[in-house]
C-alpha cells in the first residue's frame, strides 16, 4: 500500500506524556511520493546499516523456515534514516501483505480495528510515529501484540460486556523518532528493537549514485561525494539535495552533475560545507544571540525561532549533537565552542567551561 494512503489526523498528545506545544507539520503527499520513487525494494538494495540488515536477515530466514510471522519490530531513529524503507522491504522479502498507518490517525481503538480484522496470517501492520498512540489505543494493543486477541467492551456500567475476538497472528512494525517517549509496557512488547544510526559519507554517496541512476541523471563520482558530505548523515536529505542539484543542472548547465555544479547548486540552497542549512544555523545563532550560548530550554528556543519544537528535536538537534555543536544538559541546551566557530563567532570563555 502506498504511503500516500496514510491518514494523518489530529496529533494531540496524550496528557500523561510530555506535552508537545506545537504539532508536527505532516509530510506532503508530494514528499511521500518522492520518497516512494527512490525507496529500495529489497533488503539487498538497502545501503548501509549493515548490522541492522544482518539481524533482520536472520529474523527473516528464521521466520521463513518456521513459516511463522516475524516477531514485532520497533525501529527508532531520526527522520529520513530508513524506518519506512525497512517496513516496506520486509513484507516484500516475506511475501506477505502490508498495511500502513500512523499513530496520529489512531485516536480511538475503533480506528485500529479495521487494520486488525484485515490482517492476514503473517502480514505486517506498520504504525508510524508510534510514540503518539493515545493511552486508550495503547492499552487496546497490548493483548493484540501478546495473544492476537482484541477485547471489546460493549455497553456501560452494569450492562457492560467484554467480547474477545481472536485475530490471525501477524506482525506489528512500529517506527518512532522518540523511543524515549514510548512507555515501558509498549516497548517491551516489541521483541525486536533496532536503532538506526546516521549514515557514513561512503554509504550516502552510494545512495546518491543509485538515486541518480533511477532519476536518469548523469553524475560524477566526486559530485556524489559532494552531495553526500552535506547530507547530514541522512538518506532522505541526500536524495533531496540530489533532486535540487539535478534541477539546477538542468536549468543552469547541460544537465550533467559535476562537482562544481553540485557545489554551486548547494551554495545557492544555502547548504554549508558541513550540510547545515538555514534553520540549523538560525538555531545556533538564536542560542548565541538570545540565550548567551545556553543553557536554554527547547520550548523557549522554539518560540524565539517560531519553529515547532518537534521539528527542532527531531530534525535539527540530532545532527548538531552528533556534530559536537550542542549538548543537552539537565538545565537546557548548551552550545560548544565549535558551534560558535562554525557561525563565525568567538566562543566566550564560559563556552569552553560548558564542555566539561
Q: Which residue is nearest to ligand ADP (CB)?
A: 82
49 binds ligand ADP (CB under 6 A): yes
Q: How far is the CB of 154 from ligand ADP (least distance, A)?
A: 37
Size of the site for ligand ADP (CB under 6 A): 20
Q: Would you say 47 or 74 has its CB closer to ligand ADP?
A: 47
Q: Would you say 211 or 336 has its CB closer to ligand ADP?
A: 211
Taking CB under 6 A as the criterion, which residues in 113-142 touch ligand ADP?
none
47 binds ligand ADP (CB under 6 A): yes
Q: How far is the CB of 201 from ligand ADP (least distance, A)?
A: 14
Q: How far is the CB of 96 from ligand ADP (least distance, A)?
A: 19
Query: Catalytic annotation on 177?
Result: yes
Query: Catalytic annotation on 128?
Result: yes
224 binds ligand ADP (CB under 6 A): no
Query: Catalytic annotation on 236?
Result: yes
Length of the chain: 356
Q: Distance between CA atoms of 259 and 266, rounded to whole angstroms? A: 11
* Interaction mask 174-213, ligand ADP, x per CB under 6 A: -x-------------------------------x------
Among 46, 100, 219, 223, binds ligand ADP (CB under 6 A): 46
Among 14, 79, 143, 169, binds ligand ADP (CB under 6 A): 79
Among 6, 20, 24, 40, binds ligand ADP (CB under 6 A): 40
Q: Would you say 210 or 269 has its CB closer to ligand ADP?
A: 210
Among 6, 70, 72, 82, binds ligand ADP (CB under 6 A): 82
Query: Catalytic annotation on 84?
Result: yes
Q: Distance between CA atoms of 69 and 12, rounded to whole angstroms? A: 33
Q: Which among 3, 83, 132, 209 is annotated as catalytic?
A: 83
- Residues carrying an active site annotation: 83-84, 128, 177, 236
Amino acid at each position: 500500500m502506498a504511503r500516500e494512503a496514510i491518514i494523518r489526523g489530529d496529533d494531540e498528545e496524550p496528557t500523561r506524556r510530555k506535552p508537545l506545544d506545537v504539532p508536527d507539520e505532516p509530510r506532503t503527499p508530494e514528499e511521500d511520493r518522492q520518497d516512494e520513487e527512490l525507496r529500495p525494494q529489497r533488503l539487498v538494495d538497502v545501503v548501509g546499516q549493515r548490522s541492522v540488515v544482518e539481524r533482520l536477515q536472520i529474523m527473516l530466514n528464521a521466520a521463513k523456515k518456521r513459516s511463522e510471522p516475524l516477531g514485532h519490530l520497533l525501529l527508532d531513529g531520526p527522520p529520513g534514516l530508513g524506518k519506512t524503507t525497512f517496513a516496506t522491504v520486509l513484507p516484500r522479502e516475506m511475501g506477505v501483505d502490508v498495511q500502513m498507518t500512523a499513530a496520529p490517525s489512531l485516536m480511538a481503538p475503533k480506528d485500529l480495528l479495521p487494520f486488525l480484522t484485515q490482517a492476514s496470517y503473517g502480514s505486517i501492520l506498520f504504525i508510524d510515529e508510534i510514540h503518539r498512540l493515545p493511552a486508550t489505543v495503547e492499552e487496546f494493543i497490548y493483548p493484540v501484540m501478546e495473544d492476537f486477541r482484541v477485547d471489546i467492551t460493549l455497553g456501560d456500567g452494569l450492562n457492560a460486556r467484554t467480547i474477545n475476538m481472536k485475530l490471525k497472528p501477524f506482525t506489528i512494525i512500529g517506527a518512532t523518532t522518540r523511543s524515549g517517549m514510548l512507555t515501558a509496557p509498549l516497548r517491551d512488547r516489541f521483541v525486536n528493537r533496532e536503532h538506526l544510526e546516521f549514515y557514513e559519507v561512503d554509504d550516502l554517496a552510494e545512495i546518491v549514485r543509485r538515486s541518480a541512476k533511477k532519476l536518469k541523471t548523469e553524475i560524477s563520482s566526486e559530485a556524489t561525494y559532494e552531495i553526500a558530505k552535506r547530507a547530514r548523515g541522512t538518506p532522505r536529505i541526500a536524495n533531496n539535495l540530489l533532486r535540487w542539484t539535478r534541477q539546477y543542472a538542468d536549468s543552469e548547465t547541460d544537465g550533467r552533475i559535476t562537482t562544481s555544479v553540485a557545489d554551486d547548486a548547494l551554495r545557492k540552497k544555502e547548504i554549508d560545507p558541513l550540510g547545515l542549512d538555514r534553520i540549523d544555523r538560525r538555531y545556533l545563532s538564536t542560542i548565541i544571540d538570545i540565550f548567551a550560548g545556553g543553557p536554554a530550554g527547547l520550548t523557549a528556543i522554539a518560540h524565539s525561532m517560531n519553529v515547532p519544537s518537534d521539528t527542532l528535536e527531531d530534525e535539527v538537534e540530532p545532527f548538531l549533537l552528533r556534530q559536537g555543536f550542542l549538548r543537552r544538559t539537565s538545565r537546557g541546551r548548551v552550545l560548544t565552542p565549535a558551534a560558535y566557530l562554525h557561525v563565525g563567532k568567538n566562543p566566550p570563555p564560559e563556552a569552553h567551561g560548558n564542555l566539561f
